[in-house]
C-alpha cells in the first residue's frame, strides 16, 4: 500500500508541532518563495515514506546531516563568525574568546542533559516500583 493512500486520516492532536507552530516557523519563507514550500513538502513526505518502510536509522542520519548542512545559514553561525573576527583582530579579552565561550555553553548544555536524563531514569524506576508494589498488593488480596 502506498504512503499516499494511507495519508488520511491521522490524529492532528498527537503532534509535537501544531499548525500554529509550523506557521510561525515557516510561513514567511514559504510565502516569499513557493519553491521552498515544494522542497519542504518533498522532504517531509520522504521522511514519512522512509518511516513507513521502517528505515528509522536512515531518517535520523538524514536529519542530522540536514541540521549540519543548515547551520551555516543560521544567525548563530553568523554571530559566531563575527565573534571570531573580533578574536582574530585581537579585540577580545581572554574570557570572551570564542572557544572559551562555547566550552562553557556546551558544558552547561551537557550538565542540563545529564540532569534531565537522571530525572527521567528516576521517574521510570519510581513508576516501575509503584507498579510492582501495586501488583504485590493485588496478589496478597487475591490470596486472602
Residue 61 sits at the vertex; the CA angle it makes with 59 and 66, to the nearest 5 degrees, is 95
pLDDT in tens, 86-136: 989 999 888 888 888 888 889 999 999 999 999 999 999 988 888 877 776
Domain count, the chain: 2
Answer yes or no: do 61 and 109 share one domain. no
For residue range 27-48, list pLDDT tens digits in order: 999 999 999 999 999 999 999 9
Asked, for residue 82, whether it belongs to a domain, the answer is no
Q: Does some domain include residue 130?
A: yes
User: Does 87 fall in a domain?
Assistant: no
Q: Is 49 domain-assigned?
A: yes
Asked if residue 61 belongs to a domain, the reply is: yes
The overall pTM is greater than 0.75? no
Is the Cα torsion angle 50, 11, 44, 56 positive or negative in sign?
negative
Residues 55, 100 within the same domain: no
* CA dihedral of 105, 118, 67, 38, whole degrees rounded to 10: -130
Amino acid at each position: 500500500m502506498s504512503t499516499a493512500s494511507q495519508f488520511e486520516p491521522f490524529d492532528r492532536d498527537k503532534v509535537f508541532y501544531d499548525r500554529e507552530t509550523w506557521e510561525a516557523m515557516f510561513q514567511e519563507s514559504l510565502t516569499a518563495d513557493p519553491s521552498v514550500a515544494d522542497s519542504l513538502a518533498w522532504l517531509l513526505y520522504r521522511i514519512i515514506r522512509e518511516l513507513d518502510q521502517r528505515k528509522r536509522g536512515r531518517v535520523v542520519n538524514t536529519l542530522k546531516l540536514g541540521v549540519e548542512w543548515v547551520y551555516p545559514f543560521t544567525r548563530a553561525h553568523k554571530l559566531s563568525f563575527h565573534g571570531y573576527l573580533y578574536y582574530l583582530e585581537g579585540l577580545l579579552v581572554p574570557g570572551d574568546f570564542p572557544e572559551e565561550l562555547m566550552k562553557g555553553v556546551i558544558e552547561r548544555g551537557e550538565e542540563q542533559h545529564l540532569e534531565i536524563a537522571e530525572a527521567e531514569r528516576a521517574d521510570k524506576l519510581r513508576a516501575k516500583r509503584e507498579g510492582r508494589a501495586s501488583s504485590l498488593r493485588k496478589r496478597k488480596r487475591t490470596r486472602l
